[in-house]
Amino acid sequence: MINLGITCQRLRFLVLNFFVFTLLGCDPQITQSDMTETAASDFTLAHNQRFVDNLDLGHQQDFDDATQGLVAYAPNDELVSDLGFTLWDPASYDFIQGDAPETVNPSLWRQAKLNNIRGLFKVEEGIYQLRGFDLANTTLIKSENGWIVVDPLTSLETTTAAMKFAEQHLGKINLTGVVFTHSHADHFAGILSLTTSDGAAKKGIPIIAPAGFIQEATSENIIAGPAMTRRGSYMFGSALDHSVTGHVDAGLGKQVVFGSISIIPPTVSIDQPLVALNVDGIDFEFYNMPGSEAPAELTFYLPKWKAFCGAEILSHVMHNVLTLRGAKVRDALLWSDYIGESIDRLGEVEVLFNSHHWPTWGHGRIITQMQQQQDMYKFIHDQTLRLANLGYTPREIAEQLQLPNSLAKNFHVRGYYGTLSHNSKAVYQHYFGWYDGNPANLNPLPPEQSATRYVEFMGGSGAILQRASDYMAKGDYRWVGEVLNHLVFAEPNNIAAREMLAAAYRQMAYQAESGPWRDIYLSGAVELISGKVKKGYSKAGSDAFLQEVPLLQFMKALSVQLDAGKAEGESLKLNVLFTERKQNFVLTIRNSVMYYREAPVDETADVSINTTQKMFVGILLGQVGIKEMIGSEQLSVDGSMLKLLKFFSLLGESNEDFQIVFP
């Protein structure tokens, strides 16, 4: 239970508020560590107490399931990159035990404790899972001549560590098959620690994935990668300490481990609703489910064990209909329908395991869990559309939707990852797009311009800070956040505004049941106080990924780097011949647009270059500059060198560390 009495921490919070937020003439010097220790307010404590009062947080079934079949707990060893920095320190989560602290939503704390259960687990004789080595699970299925691996993890480093641990207890893992359940990186990017394309081909190891896998995987990670990476740093709290006032859990797992990533093209594509395959003596029934949790996704049934792998269509959370890092919006109705189709197929299922979290055993329990997940996604879809058709806008819908008690009391449909709020907005977006129908929102001013005007209208920064402090004292943190965001965008050097806004974000973080919401609020607070953006994920770690990507995807990525302003009035045509792949692409620039097509060498081109994919990857990553290109043996030029230099001058600079809480 949360103690609602006055504490020294809370007294300090009130004093801090007084000196920082009401005395405009002061010169507050609060450090990041000071803000890290900000206590929960009385309003936050009361908010969190409602979760204690209304949920059976002591319910043990999930804990029993999460420990069932434990072979060995995973070690708490640090995982260090080749460059010498820590990628993953599981011991940093040792503080997650006992009752929830005042600064963490008690429901999220329960989920964090469950996700702290890490190790190798026997799901059934012949099916094992490695859980807690990364955000997702890796599943090992014993076949006639070795092991089929389902979902390598996010990085080469975590996959290597997980497999090494498995071999300590299961013996040598002789790879006989690989299954990528879907196109998100935490389910494939560690593959080169297991095999290569050539290695798999020589040994006849099938690499099985849903149709469209390679296109969707590269779409997220190359074409939209820079923006998604930056937004993901907020969603997963990569700049936060692991503590009771920092990151505690991602809801779907502990955290994403940002290491070296890779990919190899699948050799078997599941492109029909049902595909039966025998993989090294094991019968699989693969179900293709595109446009669900991922644009390319499959599930499968193992008749031998009466076991169903729900991939990420099923989990122990309410998932995202639109992930906060940014991705293609998902179809909640189709998602629900796929679960319903699965229920109809699974008349004899006795084991359910997924790409995240722990399994469920027993036919009745599995079907009930699946029905509740099916109902939850359809509820979000149907009720959002019902209210939209009555004229309600996304924010209005999100404010009034509540799951029925018959669903909300079940922990596996609670908003530890997705939330009812942003999922309902995603359903609205799926049908209606970004515009809510109000003319005022059709063409609003950009944030900096509107912020300046808001501040002027509200009487200037002094008046805003005074009034905002009054609302802080009332616990109206959402309103304080909305108002002070305008002030910070108008006056980014206003320290008092930044500190008060950070304090409001921290209280909203402490109240959040969703791991990503908590991390987003806390990440914003950290950057408001420090004024710095933590350096983003190193591009060098994606080299192995980019070397395996089809060249067409590079061209897509290259075309979105064209700076339209610089390209105004320019007309260029290039041949780019990749020597080792014997593929030529014709690139054309006109009307500030770049087109690309694989075709024979165009003799009318202004310039032709012969290069290697390695060189091209280096250019794309910014590791190879103009001088290095011109002097390299991996690049030859036929035609106008000036035209080639002009072409590269038209490519805009990348910025994966762009501002979010500042203009």
At 572-609, the pLDDT tens digits run 999 999 998 899 999 999 999 999 999 999 999 999 99
- The predicted pLDDT at position 435 comes to 95
- The predicted pLDDT at position 614 comes to 83
User: Cβ neighbours of residue 106 under 8 Å, at least 6 residues apart?
Assistant: 2, 48, 51, 52, 55, 57, 99, 100
Is the predicted pLDDT of residue 30 greater than 50, yes or no? no
Whose CA is closest to 319, among 448, 197, 182, 227? 182
- The predicted pLDDT at position 437 comes to 94
* 268 DSSP β-pair partners: 208
Is the predicted pLDDT of residue 103 greater than 50, yes or no? yes
Average pLDDT score, the chain: 91
Classify residue 631 by burial, with Cβ atoms within 10 Å: 0-12, 13-18, 19+.
exposed
* H helical segments located in 174-323: 197-203, 213-218, 225-235
At 386-398, the pLDDT tens digits run 999 999 999 999 9
* 585 DSSP β-pair partners: 576, 598
Question: What percentage of the chain has pLDDT greater than the value 70?
Answer: 92
* 210 DSSP β-pair partners: 270
Average pLDDT (172-195) is 96
Average pLDDT (157-184) is 97
pTM of the model: 0.91
Whose CA is closest to 150, among 297, 252, 251? 297
Q: Are strands 583-590 and 593-598 parallel, antiparallel or unpaired?
A: antiparallel
In whole angstroms, how far apart are CA 657 and each of 288, 532, 536, 537?
A: 37, 10, 6, 9
- The predicted pLDDT at position 501 comes to 98
What's the rounded Cα separation, in Å, for the pair 570 and 564?
Answer: 10
Backbone angles phi, psi at 597, to 5 degrees: -155, 145
> 3-state SS of 7-51?
CHHHHHHHHHHHHHHCCCCCCCCCCHHHHHCCCCCHHHHHHHHHH
pLDDT grade, residue 32 (50/70/90)?
Answer: very low
What's the rounded Cα separation, in Å, for the pair 266 and 616?
Answer: 23
* 160 DSSP β-pair partners: none
In whole angstroms, how far apart are CA 415 and each of 423, 449, 526?
A: 10, 35, 24
At 500-548, the pLDDT tens digits run 999 999 999 999 999 999 999 999 999 999 998 876 555 556 777 877 7
Whose CA is closest to 316, among 596, 500, 115, 534? 115
The answer to whether the CB of 430 falls within 8 A of the CB of 339 is no
Name the residue with higher pLDDT: 4 or 653: 653
Classify residue 300 by burial, with Cβ atoms within 10 Å: 0-12, 13-18, 19+.
buried
- The predicted pLDDT at position 73 comes to 97
Q: Looking at this protein, which amino acid is placed at residue 407?
A: L
What's the rounded Cα separation, in Å, for the pair 380 and 539?
Answer: 37
Dihedral (CA of 229, 234, 240, 243) sign: negative
At 190-240, the pLDDT tens digits run 999 999 999 999 999 999 999 999 989 887 777 777 888 899 999 999 999
Classify residue 294 by burial, with Cβ atoms within 10 Å: 0-12, 13-18, 19+.
buried
Classify residue 342 by burial, with Cβ atoms within 10 Å: 0-12, 13-18, 19+.
buried
- The predicted pLDDT at position 223 comes to 79
What's the rounded Cα separation, in Å, for the pair 539 and 40?
Answer: 38
pLDDT grade, residue 658 (50/70/90)?
Answer: confident
Average pLDDT (79-105) is 93
What's the rounded Cα separation, in Å, for the pair 315 and 322?
Answer: 16
What token pair was written down for 189? 């990017």
Is the predicted pLDDT of residue 497 greater than 90, yes or no? yes
Is the predicted pLDDT of residue 446 greater than 60, yes or no? yes
What angle, rounded to 10 degrees, do the helices at 551-559 and 613-620 form? 30
Helix (H, G, I), strand (E, B) or coil at 593: strand
* 302 DSSP β-pair partners: 307
User: Cβ neighbours of residue 326 under 8 Å, at least 6 residues apart?
Assistant: 224, 227, 228, 231
At 43-82, the pLDDT tens digits run 999 999 999 999 999 999 999 999 999 999 999 999 998 8
Average pLDDT (411-428) is 98
Is the predicted pLDDT of residue 457 greater than 70, yes or no? yes
Average pLDDT (250-263) is 93
- The predicted pLDDT at position 14 comes to 32
What's the rounded Cα separation, in Å, for the pair 304 and 141?
Answer: 11
Q: How far is CA 167 from the centre of its chain?
A: 29
